[in-house]
Structures are given as C-alpha cells and as structure tokens.
Structure 1
C-alpha cells in the first residue's frame, strides 16, 4: 500500500463492523504505563481495504464538548487492554504533545504519515510493515 492509497474510515461512519464485538474498546480510559490518564477512546479508525483497526481516537478534557482535545494513536502502541482501560506504550506527555486529530485533514496522506512519524514507528502501509493485532479483550 502506498501513501496515496491510505484509506482509513472511522468506525460508525461506515457500514464496516468489527468481527468480534469484544474488540470495541470505545469508551475505555487510556493510560500510560505509569497509570497516568491520557483520555478516553472515542473512536476507532479502520483500514477500509483490510478492515483492521489502525488508529485510536483518544479524547481528553472539555465540558459538554467544549475545549476537548482529540488525538490519534497507532494501535501498535497499545500495550494491554482490559475491561476498563487501554495502556499505551508512550508516556502521557508524549501523547499530549502529539498532533491533534482534525477530521478535515484525514483525506491527506501526509496527515497520517505525520502521526506515525511523531510516535517514531513505521506506518502500516510501509513496505515490510507487520500488523500487530491489538491485545483486545477476548
């Protein structure tokens, strides 16, 4: 898959569904390895061609939708998942300093490239990339 072919869709914005409903981690608290809260999983972005979860949309802050901040985190950074929380393999400050999620930019392949570059991991579409299935609760 080349950069120009990146086609990610937000679960709920399409007719795609997760094969196993237990894999739907929306609403769970996201923390770093030290237990510091980062936010909550608000959305899952799927690779339309392969129907695999590629990015988590994590939202923090705000009141009644005002002032909230949203960030995308590659699933490769998910360390563990239980019924209440998702542990990310980056510290809170790294995630908070990351690029914000802007739905207006998701049509640009450079946007997703920037997210992966920020977290210093290769994007899933790069040659030789190996998809790591998130350790979702089964």
Structure 2
C-alpha cells in the first residue's frame, strides 16, 4: 500500500502556526458524543505539503501528564469546538478501541489507512476526497 498522504508533523515541533488561530485547539478538553471526557488535545498533526490539520493528538489517562498515552483522532470526527472543549462524533469506548497510530514506525501508511477505516471516513489522500461539511478544519 502506498497511501501518499504526505508527511505529518506535530504542530508544536514544526515551528509553524495555523493560518486561523481559532483552529489551534491545543490544551482543550476532548469530549465524546455523550459529553464524557476523553483527554485533552496535546498537539495537532499537520500535513506539511497541504498545510492542513489531519489528526488530533489527545493525551489520555495518567496523572499530571505522567503515564498518559497518546490517542490519534482524525479531524473529521470534530463536531463542535468551544473556547475550552472539543466535541467529537464518537463514544469514549470507540476511541479507546481505535487502532494505534505511531508516526515513528515504518508501516505508517497502513496504520493511517486502518485508523481512517476504523472511524468510517474516507482518507483525505484518497482520490475524490470531500471533507465533511461540518468540518472545523476545512
């Protein structure tokens, strides 16, 4: 499989800023569709070629950031954003059961495709991709 979805980098490591500062949702709590807290947005993974946010990196669990695990959630799941919260269209259980994504591994193409498939969205690199109308980042 050769997804060709571009190089994803964490916004915090890129030295870049988002064109629209309202899209910088780092530090906000992430709530599932039922209002249950999942974690907080630790960083945003951006596609360097397209200059678009593709994944939320959500820190989950742990105590004061120690022992927390990273969950990667496609931006297509974002339904609503307030000054301190981000609401997604999945349940906490669905997010916890999602396939792992690690941007540092060799088979990241396969991992990314599996992640999008799990969430039920066409991947943004697929021909004819159309972002959801309610998409916060498109």
Task: Give the TM-score normalised by structure 1.
Answer: 0.87
Q: Aligned-residue CA RMSD in angstroms?
A: 2.0
Instruction: Tell me the SS of whatever aligns to 1:13.
Output: helix
Measure the CA separation in 2 of the matches of 1:104 and 1:62.
22
Deviations 1:75-103 (A, max 9, x none): 11100000010000011100011123434
Measure the CA separation in 2 of the matches of 1:106 and 1:9.
15
Offset, 1:108: 2.3
Unaligned runs of 5+ in 2: none
> Residue 31 of structure 1 contacts residue 87 of structure 1 at CA under 8 Å; is this kept in 2?
yes
> Residue 10 of structure 1 contacts residue 44 of structure 1 at CA under 8 Å; is this kept in 2?
yes
Query: Residue 57 of structure 1 aligns with which residue?
Result: 57
Indicate how the Cα distance of structure 1 residues 82 and 72 shifts in structure 2: closer, same or farther if over 3 A, else same. Answer: same
> Residue 7 of structure 2 contacts residue 47 of structure 2 at CA under 8 Å; is this kept in 1?
yes
Offset, 1:17: 1.7
Unaligned runs of 5+ in 1: none
Offset, 1:19: 0.5
Query: Residue 96 of structure 1 aligns with which residue?
Result: 96
